Amino acid sequence: MAAAVLALSALGLSLVFGVMRVVNVAHGEFFMLGAMLAWWTAKMVPGGPLAGFMAALVVAPAAVGFLAFLTERLLLRRIKYDPEATIVATIGLLFVIQQLALSLFGADAKPVAAPFTYRIAFPWFGYSGYKLFVVVASVFILVGVWWVLARTRYGLIMRVTQFDRETATAFGIPVNTVYSAVFVAGAALVAVAAVLIVPIQQAHYLMGLDPLLMSFIVVIIGGLGSIKGSVIAALIIGMADGIISVFFSPTLASIIATLAVALVLVVRPQGLFGVTAR
Amino acid sequence: MFLHLAVIAALFLAQFAASEYIVLMLTRIMVLAIFAIGYNLLFGYTGLLSLGHAMFFATGLYAAALGTTLMGLTVPAAFAFAVLAGLAVSLVMGVITLRASGVAFMIVTLMFSQAAFLTVLYFGEYTRGDEGIVIPDTIRKFAFLGFDVDLANAVLRYNLALAFLGCAIAFSLLIVRSRIGHILIAIRENETRTSMLGYDVQRYKLAAFVMSGTLSAFSGACYALMFAYAGSTLASIQYSIHPLLWTLLGGASTVLGPVLGTGLMFVLVDLASSYTNANLLMIGVVLILLVLFFPKGILGTIRERYWKWLP
Amino acid sequence: MAAVSPLLETRNLSRSFGGLKAVSDVNFTLEVGEIRAVIGPNGAGKTTFVSLVSGRLAPSSGAVLFEGDDITRLPAFKRVRLGIAYTFQITSIYGNLTVAENVALAAHQPGAKSSLEYLERVGLAGRAAQIAGTLAYGHQRLLEVAMGLALRPKLLILDEPTQGLSDSEITNFIELVRTLSKTATVLLIEHNMPVVMELAHRITVLDRGQILAEGAPEDIRANRAVQNAYLGTADA
Amino acid sequence: MADNRPKKHQEDDAMNGSKLIVPKKPGLSRRKAIKLMGAGAAAGLAAGPGFVRYAQAQSSEPIRIGFQVHRTGIGAAYGRWYERTTTAAAALINEQGGINGRKVEIIAEDDGTDPGRGAEVVEKFATQHKCDVGFGTLFSHVVMGSAPRAGELKLPYYVVSEGHHVASTGLNRYTFQPGITDVKSQVIAMAPWIAKNVGKKVCMIYPDFAFGHDHRDYFSAAIKAQGGDVNALIPIPPTESSFTRYFPQIPADTEVIYHVMVGPAVLTFVKELGEHFGSSHPALFGFIDSLEAVDLKSPGLEFLEGSYLWEAYPRFAGASPKPHDTFYREKVGVDANGASVSDAADISTFSHMFGCWETLFILKRAMESAGYQGPADKAKLIEATEAMTSFAEGNEHPQGDKQFNGKIHQCFGHQNITQVKSGVAEVVYRTTIEEGLYEPEGDYTKMAL
């Protein structure tokens, strides 16, 4: 469960970093916005949780994607995707989005009803049917993205752009359009993740930090820019976190996990599954 | 040089002219400007963008707070202890994190800082976690070199903060003007080249890292002892972003930029909070505008256009 | 000792990237005072070879000896201090600093005075106060050489120094290298054959990571293997 | 935007109020002046015929109350309701003639729920806004960061935080918590009833930071004193957003799960607890803190049905509310379900915000008994506050009567245990004040002023 959600939220970040070589610190806020919009849509759309959920699956990625489009056009392109300037600018964006969410939606945690509820009962504990659905949906999305990247023309274009911006330009690939598309797709993906997760978690304007940090961790362990690596890392972390916390107090477990991630990045900057940077 | 003395002198005179509130605010600005100056040594001059400086600030903060309340240190001893702790932590962190570079360095420092934040919570028995600890007034009154010092005294505290800030500016100026300063800039400009000129780049980066971390810890110690509080909020990610913001606003790789940036940001937030609650929005917008239009900050832009001699 | 052993020696020096052997079992010797050119077709491993010598890359196996001492494990900056200077193929100067500051950094003596001497030798003394990034390309290459000189090297490695220079600039450059060779041994990687033929005392030809031939310019010119591997395909 | 309306509203009230006050004022002032005759030279001087004019001159200058409010940051959901309650109480005080004939002005500053900014805000109140007192802080870390500054600047500082920080006597003489019971007292008061009626084997799930540790320490001791036993402690790190993996640690013989989860993750917590246990589960006892501003009928909270909650002030008015309860709800704009009258989905922080209301009325009483005229009378205000011993239930104290211990600057009130029935929490037990009393840990009154 944790692993599927993690992989999904990290996917967008990984995609953006992979192709554009920039870190979007506002990634978590895109997630938060997606969740907020899911709540808002569910409230606005009549016809019960299922209708609201379906509507949110359209509205949230579209709106967040549009915001990402503006960000890419008005901000990132102007600073020429400079890695450090991008981090600073997206930190700024993080604050702006947080404040807007607070002003527009308020500070309360906003619960969203799951489109369906079904509790799968095991003899020793129960499991939510909706959570299982989230896992299945995440797997579908991950496989879908992988398929696009590995098997289609778009994927090829993205990989060429990732490999070398100049070469791509020389091959007549509209690099700017590709960047826009990737950034928007990354944001839309994380918004979808948020819509899926919000019936489990609820929306809150400060919820973005946690997925951001976790996504960072996943993307780092998996190797910056490697989608396969991100998925494997999400699985490992989703499980390891649970295992570590059996042996240590949870806060200590978090400390150990964080340190471990940092050390991985120090020893193998390319991540566990990444290939050495050119 | 003259400019820097003038700034110090102006700050000294300000306490006679400004309102009580401004004096209090300036005290805080000066203490935190030391943090920004420390940050600038690494970010501005060496070109290493750390997202984890809260960890050093917190090192000083807690070394001073726990040193006085739990270990029974006097205030001067607590300052010394905080500096030593800052030195040790930044040395260890530097050796580890400097193996990474670029974006990886940013994220590694962020991670370590987050681990430090969690560590503060983990030792909640001593640190009282998020709630934090208050340093009693009895500890903040002490005799030093025959003088009776009371850190609750606003005038004394202002001048102490000013003296510390003066030292930090002088130190920063000294470093920047020295051989090591030139080499740090060379590393920022072109690391491979500098290494191929026979410089031990790793050692110089470590030196910058340690100076930066130690200054930050010193600022943290000042904060704890002068304002009598240490809490985990001051170790959170936000306090890693603050010095970056201040430095960027004032002008990275200018000696006075961090001071100006800290002051300006305080005034902005303070003014805004009287009219609107959109503090976050403003910080965000300032960051974005800076990156878009003034990537060199205020003093950096001034240096580029007018005062080329500005250090 | 120094008189007995060659200035630079490599023993079975190899480096591979993944499965590809960029440099393979190279045994190479360079005597004091030489101007040696290393030539070879694109991808022959020339830049990898000098990177191994300068310490920018670590070898997969083999050893590098400088003045008879094993320096295989020394990091690049320490080799520079021993006297191995490297000028970059792609111009690598401090674009935001002045010309004088660039050289001063190389001379390890911040302060513009000491740098003037080296700038005079490459003919850039008049531009000492200019911001290096605003120099014309040819001048940037000269600055690069001046920085190499300021290191007072025993061995100066010039990686494709004439690339992008005009013909007149090349003529001056040849003169410059001749004077340099009075104080330092020069290891020259070059594509431009006339420059090589004019300057080099000896030439080493690399092909697919291995030494194909080595000898005086006229011998190399006559070498059939070299012609097949290299000259035949080059436009020089 | 949201606070514009109340402010205007308040000004209107104040203006209307001042018209109303004028005829009443001389009487009020004289009575007070007589009372204070022996108290000090200033009061003696004022007792002459010229006093009426003097008081009127003063009345143009309002009493300025610096309100440190969490508008942004983690405390924002609470802050909004603290602000509404405070505005309502101040409007009422002004309607009734203000304090000592002067109207009350609330000067609100956002502290971002950040102790650093909180300290700056206190400095601003003391020196820039020239406030008479500081007031209204909720989150403990902001109180801790701000209190030293209030003490140094000698700004009387009345917090509404429920932390044990004030009562621990670790702060200073200027910091009070007269309007809300501290957590130590709350927890001690709860333990006997839990042990007797719910179960003796208790598993505690709490946030792994100071607030949770207070619960852990005080409740563990209290339940042991009742012959009970804490069979497992499950601290949850503050960054957690999913809890499933902690639940296997709950021992099988647990009779009561005691949960305190502060933060927006509470819904997840309850939902996952429900998924873990299904229909057969130990009894639940929880602190309302995490469910403040949350609708008990929210999707996923079904699992709370039948569970017990601590509430300082029951959110649901019940079948026969007392008149002062109705009065208070009407003035603040809260319906009988604890939601905003203008939006039934906007749930209040009912068990905490009453503290703002009551604190303002305590402040009014303290200022009146001190004959407070301005910052020069701060010491008298402190002493007058410390001299108070009890507050009677009524419009000014709708939550109930309280005892006040001037030595530790802390009040002690009744606590309520409610049970969730069909999404409505009904009171099943109301503790006595005595059940929540403990030995004082120190004495502020011995500190210098």
Query: How does DSSP assign D185-211, residue by residue?
Result: HHHHHHHHHIIIII-SEEEEEEESSHH
- The gap between the terminal CA atoms of chain A, to the nearest Å, is 35
Rounded CA gap, D82 and D70, in Å? 9
Residue D40 CB-density burial (10 A; 0-12 exposed, 13-18 middle, 19+ buried)? middle
A151 three-state secondary structure: helix
Tell me the CA distances in angstroms from D239 to C22, D124, D248, one per residue in order: 49, 32, 20
Question: Within a domain: residue C17?
Answer: no
Confidence of residue D395 (pLDDT cuts 50, 70, 90): confident
Which chain D residue lies closest to B281 (C-alpha atoms)? D72
Contacts of C56 in chain B (CB under 8 A): 192, 196
Residue A276 CB-density burial (10 A; 0-12 exposed, 13-18 middle, 19+ buried)? exposed
* pLDDT at residue C74, rounded to an integer: 86
* pLDDT at residue B12, rounded to an integer: 79
Do D and A make contact via 3 or more CB pairs under 8 A? The reply is yes
Mutation target vs D (from A204, A210, A216; most D CBs, 10 A cutoff)? A204
D66 three-state secondary structure: strand
| Lowest-confidence pick of C61-65, C166-170, D380-384 | C166-170
Which helix (DSSP H) or strand (DSSP E) does residue C85 occupy? strand C84-87
* pLDDT at residue B164, rounded to an integer: 93
pLDDT of D54 strictly over 80: no
DSSP string of D240-284?
----GGGGGGS-TT-SEEEE---STTHHHHHHHHHHHHTT---EE
User: For B207-242, how does the pLDDT look when each residue is reduced to its tens digit (9 = 90+)?
Assistant: 999 999 999 999 999 999 988 899 888 888 889 988
CA–CA min distance D198, chain A (Å): 23
Which helix (DSSP H) or strand (DSSP E) does residue C207 occupy? strand C202-207
The interface residues of chain D toward chain A in range 65-104, judged by CB-CB distance below 8 A, are 72-74, 76-77, 79-80
Do D and C make contact via 3 or more CB pairs under 8 A? The reply is no
Residue type, B283: I
**What six digits make up the tokens of C226?**
């070299």
Rounded CA gap, D175 and A106, in Å? 31
Partner residue opposite D245 with nearest CB, options A99, A121, A245 = A245
pLDDT of C49 strictly over 90: no
User: For D207-233, how does the pLDDT look when each residue is reduced to its tens digit (9 = 90+)?
Assistant: 888 888 888 999 898 888 888 888 888
CA–CA min distance B198, chain D (Å): 45
Enumerate the H helices of chain A as residue ranges. 2-20, 27-44, 48-71, 83-105, 129-151, 153-163, 165-170, 175-201, 209-222, 227-247, 250-267
Which chain D residue lies closest to A129 (C-alpha atoms)? D275
pTM over 0.80? The answer is yes
Residue type, B32: L
Tell me the CA distances in angstroms from D331 to B241, C24, D92, D313, D347, one per residue in order: 42, 88, 8, 16, 16
Which helix (DSSP H) or strand (DSSP E) does residue D62 occupy? none
Q: What is the largest CA-CA distance in chain A?
A: 62
pLDDT of D339 strictly over 70: yes
Highest mean pLDDT range out of B276-290, D35-49, D295-309, D314-328? D314-328
Residues of D with CB under 8 A from a CB of B: 71-72, 109-110, 112, 114-117, 119-121, 123-124, 127-128, 140-141, 144-145, 147-149, 151-152, 163, 165, 170-172, 208-211, 213, 237-239
Residue type, C126: G
Q: Residue-wise over C54-90: b if at least 16 C-beta within 10 A, else e?
A: bbbbebeebebbbbeeebbebebbebbebbbbbbbbe
**What six digits make up the tokens of D381?**
């205000």
Yes or no, beta carbons of D147 and B134 under 8 Å apart: yes
C224 or D141: which leads in pLDDT: D141
Torsion of CA D372, D378, D379, D383, to 10 degrees: 60
Tell me which residue of B156, B216, B175, B284 sits closest to B32, measured CA to CA.
B216
Enumerate the H helices of chain B as residue ranges. 2-17, 20-40, 54-69, 75-97, 103-122, 124-127, 137-140, 154-177, 179-189, 191-195, 201-227, 238-250, 257-275, 279-293, 297-305
Close Cβ partners of D40 (under 8 Å, ≥ 6 residues apart): D371, D380
Question: Within a domain: residue C139?
Answer: yes
Rounded CA gap, D125 and D104, in Å? 15
Contacts of A96 in chain B (CB under 8 A): 280-281, 284-285, 288
Contact between residue D228 and residue D195 where contact means Cβ atoms under 8 Å apart: yes
C81 part of contact set with chain B, CB < 8 Å: yes
D61 three-state secondary structure: coil
A115 three-state secondary structure: coil
B261 three-state secondary structure: helix
C57 or B212: which leads in pLDDT: B212
Contacts of B31 in chain D (CB under 8 A): none
**What six digits make up the tokens of B41?**
């040594």
Specify the residue for token string 């930044």: B90
Contacts of B270 in chain D (CB under 8 A): 120, 124
Residues of B with CB under 8 A from a CB of A: 49, 51, 96-97, 99-104, 106-108, 110-112, 114-115, 118-119, 121-122, 237, 241, 244, 248, 278-281, 283-288, 290-292, 295
Torsion of CA B176, B182, B184, B190, to 10 degrees: 140
User: For D60-89, how does the pLDDT look when each residue is reduced to its tens digit (9 = 90+)?
Assistant: 688 899 999 888 877 888 888 999 999 999
B20 part of contact set with chain D, CB < 8 Å: yes
A25 or D28: which leads in pLDDT: A25
Enumerate the H helices of chain C as residue ranges. 46-54, 76-82, 99-106, 112-122, 137-150, 167-180, 193-199, 217-222, 224-226
Partner residue opposite A254 with nearest CB, options D1, D76, D237 = D237
The mean of the pLDDT values for chain D is 81
Confidence of residue A242 (pLDDT cuts 50, 70, 90): low
Look up residue D125 and give its DSSP letter.
I
Which chain B residue lies closest to C56 (C-alpha atoms)? B196
Yes or no, beta carbons of B189 and C94 under 8 Å apart: yes
D296 three-state secondary structure: coil
CA–CA min distance D66, chain B (Å): 12
* pLDDT at residue A1, rounded to an integer: 57
Percentage of chain A beyond pLDDT 90 is 0
* pLDDT at residue B90, rounded to an integer: 94
**What six digits make up the tokens of D350?**
């009912």
Yes or no, beta carbons of D237 and B24 under 8 Å apart: no
Contacts of D268 in chain A (CB under 8 A): 200-202
Question: Within a domain: residue C46?
Answer: yes
pLDDT of D17 strictly over 50: no
Overall domain count for chain C: 1
Rg (CA), chain A: 19
Partnered with residue D427 across adjacent β-strands are D418
Residue D256 CB-density burial (10 A; 0-12 exposed, 13-18 middle, 19+ buried)? buried
Rg (CA), chain C: 18
A111 or B157: which leads in pLDDT: B157
Name all domains of chain D by residue range, CATH numbers in brackets.
Answer: 7-181+354-412 (3.40.50.2300), 183-319+415-436 (3.40.50.2300)
Residue type, C198: E
Rounded CA gap, D319 and B67, in Å? 56
Do B and D make contact via 3 or more CB pairs under 8 A? The reply is yes
Torsion-angle region of D162 (φ positive above 0: left; ψ -120 to 50: alpha; else: beta): left
Query: Which strand ranges, in their side-by-side order, compose the sheet holding C69-70?
Result: C20-30, C8-17, C61-66, C69-70
Contacts of A84 in chain B (CB under 8 A): 49, 106
Domain carrying residue C158: 32-52+75-231
Mean pLDDT score, D175-194: 90
Contacts of B134 in chain D (CB under 8 A): 144, 147-148, 170-171
Question: Within a domain: residue C16?
Answer: no
Cβ count near D283 (within 10 Å): 17
Yes or no, beta carbons of A113 and D299 under 8 Å apart: yes
ipTM above 0.85, yes or no: no
**What six digits make up the tokens of B150?**
């009371």
Mean pLDDT score, B18-32: 88
Which chain D residue lies closest to B132 (C-alpha atoms)? D141
B37 three-state secondary structure: helix
Strands D256-259 and D283-287: parallel
Mean pLDDT score, A85-106: 83
CA atoms within 13 A on the CB side of B6: 4
Query: Which strand ranges, in their side-by-side order, compose the sheet holding D63-69?
Result: D104-110, D63-69, D133-135, D157-158, D175-176
Rounded CA gap, C193 and C236, in Å? 6
Rounded CA gap, C116 and A112, in Å? 73
Contacts of B135 in chain D (CB under 8 A): 148
Rounded CA gap, B180 and B174, in Å? 10
Partnered with residue A244 across adjacent β-strands are none
Mean pLDDT score, C201-216: 84
Yes or no, beta carbons of A92 and B121 under 8 Å apart: no
Rounded CA gap, B134 and B230, in Å? 7
Rounded CA gap, D341 and D333, in Å? 5
C110 three-state secondary structure: coil
Contact between residue A100 and residue D256 where contact means Cβ atoms under 8 Å apart: no
Confidence of residue B277 (pLDDT cuts 50, 70, 90): low
Close Cβ partners of A93 (under 8 Å, ≥ 6 residues apart): A25, A26, A29, A71, A75, B284, B288
